[in-house]
Amino acid sequence: MSRSAHPAGPRHADVFSEGHYSAPPADLNVLDPKVWSHTVRRTEDGVVTVGGLEVTALAEEFGTPAYFVDEADFRERARAWRTAFGHDADVFYAGKAFLSRAVVRWLHEEGLNLDVCSGGELATALSAGMPADRIAFHGNNKSTAEIHAAVEAGVGRIVLDSFQEIVRVAHIAQSLGRRQRVQIRVTVGVEAHTHEFIATAHEDQKFGIALADGQAAEAVRRALTLDGLELVGIHSHIGSQIFDMAGFEVAARRVVGLLAAVRDEHSVELPEIDLGGGLGIAYTSDDDPREPHEIAKALGEIVTRECEAARLSTPRISVEPGRAIVGPTAFTLYEVGTIKPLEGLRTYVSVDGGMSDNIRTALYDAEYSVALVSRTSDAEPMLARVVGKHCESGDIVVKDAFLPADLAPGDLIAVPATGAYCRSMASNYNHAPRPPVVAVKDGAARVIVRRETEDDLLRLDVG
């Protein structure tokens, strides 16, 4: 999924010369700041620290596997998005990437809004004090109970995803004596350059209402007639882990085209457009993500230009980055267990977690980096595959990576850039208790989501 491609191949000694793999980095002990969170360092004695705390001490206190989130880095990235978009735009953090009450408070304090897509995410946001009017509610199949909860809470907007939903939200809002602010999610027909399962703006998929065949214009027509709805804008989300701004530009152009058509037909200028999330991050050293200020500039310019051409006043823009804020701010810490060199292939390094704490490699063929973090090593690089402890051969965390050949059971290794869609997509496969999320900042660590226990697992089993 990341752009770096390292196809599985034969013995690494042979393939270096054939160029199938990137050569191992000159020094395996050096941590590339592109993929590690901002406060990660390697100390002189070789141990890696985050927020000033050594991973060896963190492992002792919190156990492994565990996710460690660099709070200062999270806040810095959130603030960078907020600052880049300024006062004329809104940044909605996409809670699906990772949500907890601590994260909601950080976002609130840093001036961001929040995008939720389920009753559970909504409840988390409200319980941590996010003002309802700063919450957007998404989803292609919101239940009646979820719509009811969102309208009753007074969320700032519900993003309508189907014709049925236009009627349902209007009906529920009216029954509660409310007029709900809504946007309509449209599919703009852009094929985002990303994995098929996370591209969302081509037409043959479940999200949104198509622009191309006039369906979106029809949705606007209907929404404008319903008393329970206040239609404030159009929403587009083209996919995830995207590096190329071209898709966003096409999306912006088409959304503004719809605003112009709405103005021509109804004499109404919708005041908002949301261009979704989806900006890519560096999972490996080969990835080159855009900075928030570049993204804000590119989107602002295209929307302004298109609006001027259509003689529309520029709408308020919003965006919904999830991965780009939380993704780079966390790593997963594992303890190395079984090590199996397969002659002529690679060395399988088993860790104490796996696909239950990071499903992305199995699901999307995602690529990750990995490093030995409890010590340094001068040993030769070995081509390794980091695998989990689950009963499944596809249980791979890092497909191809170089680790020092003297790696031994008990060493700690860490996989960076696991802040997004790892804990939030974690499972209890093989009855694995899900790992904790520990926030680290200025020499202090605190659990923000605790580790599950066997009691937690058994509590659900009422047979």
Question: CA angle, 29 as apex, 414 and 404 as ends, to 5°?
Answer: 75
Task: Work out whether 237 is an interface residue with ligand LLP (CB under 6 A).
Answer: yes
Neighbours of 323 (CB within 10 A): 25
How many residues contact ligand LLP, by CB under 6 A?
22
Site track 109-148 with ligand LLP (rule: CB under 6 A), x = hit: ------x----------------------x----------
Specify burial of residue 462 (Cβ count, 10 A radius: 0-12, 13-18, 19+): exposed
Q: Which range, of 23-31, 35-43, 140-148, 235-243, touches ligand LLP by CB under 6 A? A: 235-243
Please give the residues from 189 up to 208 whose contact with ligand LLP meets the rule CB under 6 A: 198
* Nearest-angstrom CA–CA distance, 402 and 349: 11
State the nearest-atom distance from the C-beta of 278 to ligand LLP, in Å: 4
**357 in contact with ligand LLP (CB under 6 A):** no
Helix intervals (H) in 267-408: 292-309, 323-326, 360-364
Task: Report the distance separating Cα 26 and Cα 17, nearest Å.
Answer: 16
Q: Which of 173, 91, 170 is nearest to 134 (CA)?
A: 91
The active-site residue, picked from 117, 307, 391, 422, is 391
Question: Cα separation of 359 and 211, whole Å?
Answer: 33
CA gap 439, 445 in Å, rounded: 6
Using the contact rule CB under 6 A, the part of the chain among 123-131, 237-245, 290-298, 410-418 near ligand LLP is 237-245
Whose tokens are 């939380």? That residue is 326
Verify binding: residue 320, ligand LLP, rule CB under 6 A.
Answer: yes
Contact flag: residue 156 with ligand LLP (CB under 6 A): no
Cβ proximity to ligand LLP, 218 vs 365, nearer residue: 365
User: Which one of the spans 15-23, 92-100, 164-172, 403-411 is the region binding ligand LLP (CB under 6 A)?
Assistant: 92-100
Residue 23: how many CA atoms within 13 Å on its side-chain side?
6
DSSP one-letter code for 309: H
Question: Which residue from 199, 421, 434, 436 is in contact with ligand LLP, where contact means CB under 6 A?
Answer: 421
Closest distance to ligand LLP from the beta carbon of 228 (Å): 23
Q: Tell me the residue type at 265.
A: E
Give the span between the Cα atoms of 271 and 303, in whole angstroms. Answer: 13
Residue 423 found at the interface with ligand LLP (CB under 6 A): no
Kindly tell me which of 237 and 399 has the beta carbon lying closer to ligand LLP: 237
What are the catalytic residues? 391
- Site residues (CB under 6 A) for ligand LLP? 94, 96-97, 115, 138, 198, 237, 240-241, 276-279, 320-324, 360, 364, 420-421
